[in-house]
Structures are given as C-alpha cells and as structure tokens.
Amino acid sequence: MTPISLFALAAAVASTVTASSNCTRDFLAKAAEQYVQAQTAGSPVLLSQILSPHAAYKENDMPLDVTKGVLSQAIKIDRTHRYYDTAQCGGLVELIAASPNATASGTPYLIHTRFLYGNGTADNITLIESVVTKPGDWAFNATGYLHYDGIESWPAIPVDQRDTRSVIQAAGDAYFDRFDNVSVVIPMASACARLEGGSYTARGNFSANTCDGYPSTILVTDRRYIVDEVYGVVDIFEGFPGLDRSVPKVAVPDSHLFRVENGKIRYIHTVSHCINYNCGLNSTTFGRRAFKSVGV
C-alpha cells in the first residue's frame, strides 16, 4: 500500500477531530465534514490530523498517494449525502459536483467515498477509498444526478420503524446476489428508482418499481459495506464485471448506495468507473438499460 506522504505538510493544520475510541455519529460526522472541506479546498493536508500515518488511500481501486489524487483539486460541491456506521466506525459520503465551474478544468464529478477507523479501535482513519467518476464513466451526467437526487426523499427513519443492520445489509446483498442467481428474490419496494451516474429509471412513473431488469451471470465480487440504520442505508463498494463492454472480465470499481425502507429497497444511487471511455459503449448502444440491451 502506498504510504500517505502528507505528514510533512501537516504542520499548519488547525485543531480538528481528535483521536477517540468513542465512535459516535457525531464523531463520524466531524470526520466526514473534514473530508468534504478537504475536497472543497483541494487540500488533502486538511485530512492529515485524522489519518493514520499508515492509512491506505485508493481511488477506483488503485492505491494512490492522497496528495496526487482528486483531493488535490478544489471542487465546488453542490450537494452531499453522508452516512455513518458506528459499528464499523466508518462513513460514506456521496459528493455531487455538477456545475460548469465545478473544477478549474470545468470537469464535473460524482464521487462516493468510504472511510474506516479500523473496527472502532483505531484513533485515526486507516482507510479512505473512493469511486471517482467524471464524463466517460457509466451513464455519467452530474446535472441529471443532481436533478433526480433532488426530487427524492431520504429522511431519517423514525426510531420505531428502523430496520436492523442485518436486514438493511441483506437487502443490498440480495440485489447483487441476484446478478448471478435468478432464484434470489430481491426485497423490492412497490416503488423503486435507480439513479445510475445521471440516468434515472423512474422518469416514466415515480410510483412504480422501475429497478427491475438484472443480469444473471455476473458475479459481483469484493463487497465492502457501510451501514447506517438511522437512514436505512447500505452502501456497497464492489467489483462489477461485464459493465465495461471493452473489458468484460474486469470487475470495474463500483458503488451502490441503497435506501431501504421496511426491509425493502426504495432508492439506489450508483457510480461506476469505466476502464475505457463510456465502458466501450457509443451513443447508439448506450441506453439507460444498456446491460439489458446487450443481453448480459
């Protein structure tokens, strides 16, 4: 793993989230806020005080020096979703940056980032990993993502209606298990919408389940979870073979953020990194249900 080499730069950073073995939501929220501020400023140094000196940092499954990645560029962020997993001591941040001047280069971004303190025992973050997407990634349209996300509602779930951690995670797992086993029944709400990089399944009917239509021979590997019972959320980072048609055997870096209500999937947000531009699809073959149309 590439060691993070920003400690030499850390001298001037103001006091920040401090070490604690109390992994509360508040504690994780401060870490998430610090991450968002670092990305907004394009200053990975702002993370130095909450990262373990030996922390792993990855973008799209590649180990990277945190000072050399997307965090070193300022991004004007339009909206975030933030979820906290107190059992694992970690969190998930979804960043939506859609404006024409989102970055100095004009590139918009959609990013899912998970961070872990290390089973609630470490004083500092031991892992930050992101699926970083931009034009050329799966169905990328940050304007669309911002728009459709904005018409959804993901409020905290009333205490007496919350699902257990295992029920929430099982819903997300069933979804991916179905990709290589047609016998798996996904607990799907009567209304379900999936937002994939900016294309939206529910454009025709917001009260229907428009999430159906799955592959049956795709083994989704290397699943990594963040679960937040308060919001009924499980995010799964995984490898998704077949998505990039130009390299179908490669399990591409992917994150699916599931909103689960009463044990059933209500919303899904996905960001998927393409190895090659548009995952090998062109304007003719690229549709919102592309994997159905090419028959996987």
Ligand X SMILES: *[C@@H]1O[C@H](CO)[C@@H](O)[C@H](O)[C@H]1NC(C)=O
* Binding residue (CB under 6 A) for ligand X from 45, 47, 98, 116: 116
Instruction: Enumerate the H helices of the chain as residue ranges.
Output: 25-41, 142-150, 165-177, 290-293
β-pair partners for 116: 90, 127
CA pseudo-torsion sign 4, 5, 11, 13? negative
Per CB under 6 A, the segment of 78-86, 129-137, 143-151, 165-173 that binds ligand X is: 143-151
Beta carbon nearer to ligand X, 162 or 198: 198
* Binding residue (CB under 6 A) for ligand X from 2, 5, 119, 262: 119
Per CB under 6 A, the segment of 165-173, 233-241, 248-256, 278-286 that binds ligand X is: 278-286
Q: Give the span between the Cα atoms of 20 and 27, in whole angstroms.
A: 8
Q: Does 118 bind ligand X (CB under 6 A)?
A: yes
Which residues, numbered 208-267, are part of the site for ligand X (CB under 6 A)?
Answer: 208
Closest CB 177 distance from ligand X, rounded Å? 7
Beta carbon nearer to ligand X, 166 or 285: 285
Closest CB 145 distance from ligand X, rounded Å? 8
Closest CB 209 distance from ligand X, rounded Å? 7
CB 265 within 8 A of CB 173: no
Q: Rounded to the nearest 10 degrees, how much is the dihedral formed by the CA atoms of 73, 89, 225, 257?
A: -60
CB atoms within 10 A of CB 125: 25
Choose among 75, 67, 115, 72: nearest CA to 95. Answer: 75
Choose among 188, 84, 102, 190: nearest CA to 140. Answer: 102
* Binding residue (CB under 6 A) for ligand X from 166, 181, 216, 217: 181
CB 233 within 8 A of CB 168: yes
Beta carbon nearer to ligand X, 205 or 217: 205
Closest CB 154 distance from ligand X, rounded Å? 19
Which residues, numbered 3-22, are part of the site for ligand X (CB under 6 A)?
Answer: 7, 19-22
Q: Give the span between the Cα atoms of 223 and 77, in whole angstroms.
A: 27
Q: Does 141 bind ligand X (CB under 6 A)?
A: yes
Closest CB 160 distance from ligand X, rounded Å? 27
Which residues, numbered 35-94, are part of the site for ligand X (CB under 6 A)?
Answer: 48-49, 52-53, 76
CB 31 within 8 A of CB 91: yes
CB 272 within 8 A of CB 199: no
Which residue is closest to ligand X by CB? 144
CB 252 within 8 A of CB 279: yes
Question: Biggest alpha carbon distance in the chain?
Answer: 57
Per CB under 6 A, the segment of 38-46, 121-129, 130-138, 222-230 that binds ligand X is: 121-129
DSSP state of 8: G
Beta carbon nearer to ligand X, 62 or 182: 182
Binding site for ligand X (CB under 6 A): 7, 19-22, 48-49, 52-53, 76, 99, 101, 116, 118-119, 123-124, 126-127, 141, 143-144, 147, 181, 183-184, 198, 205, 207-208, 282, 284-285
